Structure 1
Amino acid sequence: MTFLDLRAATLGQAHVAHAHDHHQLILATCGATELAIEGRGDRITGSRGCLIPCGRHHDYRGDGRNRTFVLDIPAKSLPALRDGEAIGRLFERPRFFAVPPRLNRLAASLMQQLEYCPALHSEIAALLLRALYLHLEAEPLPADVGAPAVRGFSERLDLARLDAWIDRHLADEIRVEQLAALCALSAGHFHACFRELTGMTPLAYVQRRRLDHARTLVTHSGLSLGHIATLVGFRDQGSFSRAYRRRFAVSPSRARREDRAFPSPGQEHRSSGQAGGPEST
Structure 2
Amino acid sequence: MPHLELRAKNLDADHVAHAHDHHQLILATRGATELSIEGRGDRITGSRGCLIPCGRHHDYRGDGRNRTFVLDIPATSLPALRDGEAIGRLFERPRFFAVPPRLNRLAASLMQQLECCPALHSEIAALLLRALYLHLEVEPLPADAGVAASACFSERLDLTRLNAWIDRHLADEIRVEQLAALCALSTGHFHACFRELTGVTPLAHVQRRRLDHARALVTHSGLSLGHIASLVGFRDHGSFSRAYRRRFAISPSRARREGRALPSLGQEHRSRGQAVAPEST
What does residue 134 of structure 1 align with? 134
Q: Does the 8 A contact of 1:6 with 1:122 survive in 2?
A: yes
1:166 aligns with 2:158: no
* SS of the residue 1:140 aligns to: coil
What does residue 91 of structure 1 align with? 91
What does residue 42 of structure 1 align with? 42
* SS of the residue 1:17 aligns to: strand
- Gap runs ≥5 in structure 2: 180-185, 206-281
Q: Does the 8 A contact of 2:157 with 2:194 survive in 1?
A: no
What does residue 60 of structure 1 align with? 60
- CA distance 1:25–1:166, shift in 2 (3 Å): same
What does residue 266 of structure 1 align with? none
State the shift of 1:197 in Å: 7.3
What does residue 260 of structure 1 align with? none
State the shift of 1:40 in Å: 1.1
Q: Distance in 2 between matches of 1:138 and 1:4?
A: 24
Q: Distance in 1 between matches of 2:178 and 2:52?
A: 17
Q: Amino acid of the residue matched to residue 147 of structure 1?
A: G
What does residue 201 of structure 1 align with? 198
Q: Does the 8 A contact of 2:39 with 2:195 survive in 1?
A: no
What does residue 74 of structure 2 align with? 74
Report matched runs for 1:207-218 at 5 Å. Answer: none
Q: Distance in 2 between matches of 1:114 and 1:133?
A: 20
What does residue 255 of structure 1 align with? none
Q: 2:175 is matched with which residue: 180, 183, 194? A: 183
* SS of the residue 1:64 aligns to: coil
Q: Does the 8 A contact of 1:26 with 1:69 survive in 2?
A: yes
What does residue 147 of structure 1 align with? 146
State the shift of 1:149 in Å: 5.9
**CA deviation profile, 1:9-41 (whole Å, cap 9, x unmatched):** 000000000000000000000100000011111
TM-score, structure 2 normalization? 0.58
Q: Does the 8 A contact of 1:25 with 1:50 survive in 2?
A: yes
Q: Does the 8 A contact of 1:52 with 1:93 survive in 2?
A: yes
Report matched runs for 1:101-116 at 5 Å. Answer: 101-116=101-116
Cα RMSD of the aligned pairs, angstroms, is 4.1
TM-score, structure 1 normalization? 0.58
- CA distance 1:166–1:146, shift in 2 (3 Å): same
Q: Does the 8 A contact of 1:180 with 1:186 survive in 2?
A: no
* SS of the residue 2:161 aligns to: helix
State the shift of 1:199 in Å: 7.9
Q: Amino acid of the residue matched to residue 175 of structure 2?
A: C
Q: Distance in 2 between matches of 1:190 and 1:184?
A: 7
Q: Does the 8 A contact of 2:148 with 2:192 survive in 1?
A: no
Q: Runs of 4 or more off by more than 6 Å in structure 1?
A: 189-192
Q: Amino acid of the residue matched to residue 92 of structure 1?
A: E
Q: Distance in 2 between matches of 1:36 and 1:59?
A: 5
Q: Does the 8 A contact of 2:39 with 2:192 survive in 1?
A: no
State the shift of 1:201 in Å: 3.4
Q: Distance in 1 between matches of 2:44 and 2:19?
A: 18
* SS of the residue 1:182 aligns to: coil
State the shift of 1:72 in Å: 0.1
State the shift of 1:146 in Å: 2.5
Q: Distance in 2 between matches of 1:137 and 1:130?
A: 10
- CA distance 1:195–1:71, shift in 2 (3 Å): closer
* SS of the residue 1:193 aligns to: helix
* SS of the residue 1:69 aligns to: strand
Q: Distance in 2 between matches of 1:95 and 1:29?
A: 18
Q: Distance in 2 between matches of 1:199 and 1:179?
A: 27
Q: Distance in 1 between matches of 2:123 and 2:194?
A: 43
Q: Does the 8 A contact of 1:194 with 1:200 survive in 2?
A: no
Q: Amino acid of the residue matched to residue 130 of structure 2?
A: R
Q: Distance in 1 between matches of 2:76 and 2:177?
A: 34
Choose 1 or 2 for highest CA Rg: 1
- Gap runs ≥5 in structure 1: 207-281
- CA distance 1:185–1:179, shift in 2 (3 Å): farther
- CA distance 1:53–1:165, shift in 2 (3 Å): closer
